[in-house]
Amino acid sequence: MSVSEFSLIEKYFHQQDISRKDVVLGIGDDCALLDIPAGQQLAVTVDTLVEGVHFLTDSSPSDLGWKAIAVSLSDLAAIGAEPAWLSLALTILKSESSWLESFSVGLFECADYYGLQLIGGDTSRGPLSVTVQAMGLVPPGAALQRSSAKPGDLICVTGHLGDAGMGLEIATGRREVQQVAQKDYLLKRFNRPVPRVSAGIAMRHIASAAIDLSDGLAGDLPHILTASGVGATINLDKLPLSTALVAQCNSEDAIHYAITSGDDYELCFTVAEEKLDTLTKALKSSGNDYTVIGRITGGSCLRYTQHDKVYDKDFTGYTHFKH
């Protein structure tokens, strides 16, 4: 069954469980109107997911709905913002009700969980792509930025790295996993990333810089280094690797996944050593774990060490445009 544009918006995108008081005018008019609470700055981010580039052609629509929201929430997390509103630009080849139903269920599952209200968007016909603009709130001076890491700061990451890269291998059939619980865990890490929203908020005024890991540590950490004018040393022995990842490959491959594969949506952040206790308490009480994996240095090089020696290979993260 196919549905017209207006009934499509009404049917699949107008109903949401949460309804924020600061939304003066939501879906249905030419623009949305929002009350920005006094004493807060607006944090805005936009991300596009294109079929065949950012998600597999046979992805489940509900996973796609979840992930489209989660990746934008991960950007809000990285700056320490609290999620508030979102708009959605959806391009679809045909308006198929079963696809739209499943997509909107996944989308609202994630949006409702994080208190993000859908306030508008755009719907057009064409090759499948999903663009989400997420908006959040952060008090002036509290946003975590990429540009303020200092030599001597510790480099940390939340959670485990490399799981989503292995999940992609499983989803594309390049790797078979016998153990069902491990297979489900790794696929979930790829299909339904959990943005570290509470970690970002908890590390306001504690972390010196932060970024979310969408393109792998080797791709994303250099953004902090360049913006801050510093270098770094990463200790490969310290990388947080899940039992499920380690069970699928040798340790060198596991390290490779952890450093180079995208889609983990963990946070990488830096912190002055004297603030480590405060950080530990703040992250623990917000239900997040973290691992120290290296240190910011002077200069501009990113070095890796293993077993107390300089690691002689280089890593590259995911990039859309190779030159």
Interacting residues with ligand ADP (CB under 6 A): 9, 13, 27-30, 88, 90, 118, 120-123
CB of 86 to ligand ADP, least distance (A): 9
Residue 218 interacts with, from Mg ion, ligand ADP, none (CB under 5-8 Å by kind): none
Residue 116 interacts with, from ligand ADP, Mg ion, none (CB under 5-8 Å by kind): none
Q: How far is CA 30 from CA 26, 119, 139, in A?
A: 10, 11, 29
Contact 138, 81 (CB under 8 A): yes
Cβ closest to ligand ADP, residue 27 vs residue 202: 27
CB of 279 to Mg ion, least distance (A): 43
Contact 88, 49 (CB under 8 A): no
Residue type, 241: L
Give the 3-state secondary structure of residue 92.
Answer: strand
CB of 82 to ligand ADP, least distance (A): 21
CB of 87 to ligand ADP, least distance (A): 7
Return the residue nearest Mg ion (CB atom). Answer: 122
> Taking the CB of residue 20, how many other CB atoms lie within 10 A of it?
15
Residue 308 interacts with, from Mg ion, ligand ADP, none (CB under 5-8 Å by kind): none
Q: How far is CA 288 from CA 16, 146, 188, 283, in A?
A: 28, 21, 18, 5
Cβ closest to ligand ADP, residue 28 vs residue 37: 28
- Strand pairing partners for 309? 306
CB of 92 to Mg ion, least distance (A): 15
Residue 280 interacts with, from Mg ion, ligand ADP, none (CB under 5-8 Å by kind): none
CB of 30 to Mg ion, least distance (A): 8
- Please give the span between the terminal C-alpha atoms of the chain, in angstroms, as a whole number: 45
Cβ closest to ligand ADP, residue 118 vs residue 282: 118
Cβ closest to Mg ion, residue 11 vs residue 303: 11
Return the residue nearest ligand ADP (CB atom). Answer: 120
CB of 135 to Mg ion, least distance (A): 18
Cβ closest to ligand ADP, residue 68 vs residue 197: 68
Residue type, 217: L
**In sequence order, what are the residues at sequence separation of 6 or more whose Cβ sits closer than 8 angstroms to the Cβ of residue 69?**
86, 107, 110, 111, 114, 116, 132, 134
List contacts with Mg ion (CB under 5 A): 122
- Which two three-digit tokens encode residue 192? 């339904």
Residue 80, by phi and psi: left (phi above 0), alpha (psi -120 to 50) or beta?
A: left
Cβ closest to Mg ion, residue 121 vs residue 139: 121
Cβ closest to Mg ion, residue 95 vs residue 102: 95
Residue type, 151: P
